[in-house]
Chain A
Amino acid sequence: MNLIRRKFVKTTAFLSVGATLAGSGLLMPQRALGAWAADAFAARDVAGAVSGSLGSSDYSPSDAVTLKAPDIAENGAVVPVTVSSSMANVDAISIVVASNPGPLTSTYQLSSACEPFVSTRIKMAKTGDVIAVVKANGKLYSATKEVKVTIGGCGG
């Protein structure tokens, strides 16, 4: 970690704000799919997290959505989850943990080239349901799996 690089990072961050404000150049393509969904992440319930990130909280369970997560997570700070789907035209995926203080862990906007697949690692405060919600053809489909957590990953 050297100082020159820190300065470079700061400067680029500053420049990118400027560029966005000016509505031109550098980082415009990155803004194409919308800004960070602050409301959805601030939501304290599952419905708020889903509607904030996908536009509606009206989702129904579907076999076409696959959620892979461990039955028992020894360490709640690192729970690997994989969401995939056999449906076509999936354009967004959200991963929600019902028992977390802020249920929405992440939401993904998929371009048309993307396969309906994301894999990441999430934190879980305690035992609870992990819900994967997939948006396909304008409708929401979900898969739920309970993960038992031995050591929580959000508290101190």
Chain B
Amino acid sequence: MATIKIRAKAQDGVTTVKTLISHPMESGQRKDSKTGKLIPGHYVTEVIAEHNGKQVLNANWGGGISKNPYLSFKFKGAAAGDSIKISWVDNMGKSDSAEAKIQ
């Protein structure tokens, strides 16, 4: 089960990247309704986007980003067929990455 979905489209020199990550994004503020205890925070802390191996965007996230996070951004200098790679790391040390071709 891949955790990352990527759509990237180049148009008029600008590439728009849209990505969805499957992640619980537990903020650490929520209480378990049965036990009354805080549910430990579990969220993505860092997302990195690379175009042909070169970093274009670095996002730092906290528990304030919604579950199954969505991120969209735009950058210049890419052409259709180039590779775009998205990687994430969470506060429990889990990580994943995925690569897609720009359309």
**What is the count of residue pairs linking A and B with beta-carbon distances less than 8 angstroms?**
142
Which B residues lie at the A interface, using CB under 8 A? 1, 14, 27, 29-33, 45-46, 48, 50-51, 53-67, 69-78, 87, 89, 93-96
Of the A-B pairs whose beta carbons lie under 8 Å apart in the complex, a sample of 16, sorted by A's number, is A13-B94, A29-B54, A40-B60, A41-B60, A41-B63, A101-B29, A104-B62, A105-B65, A115-B74, A117-B74, A121-B66, A121-B70, A122-B64, A153-B66, A154-B29, A155-B29
- CB distance A114 to B62 under 8 Å? no
- CB distance B72 to A12 under 8 Å? no
- Does A72 count as interface, using CB distance less than 8 angstroms? no
In the bound complex, CA of A29 to CA of B87 (Å): 12
- CB distance B59 to A108 under 8 Å? yes
At the interface, is chain B mostly helix, strand, loop or mixed?
strand
- CB distance B60 to A78 under 8 Å? no
B residues within 8 A CB of A97? 64
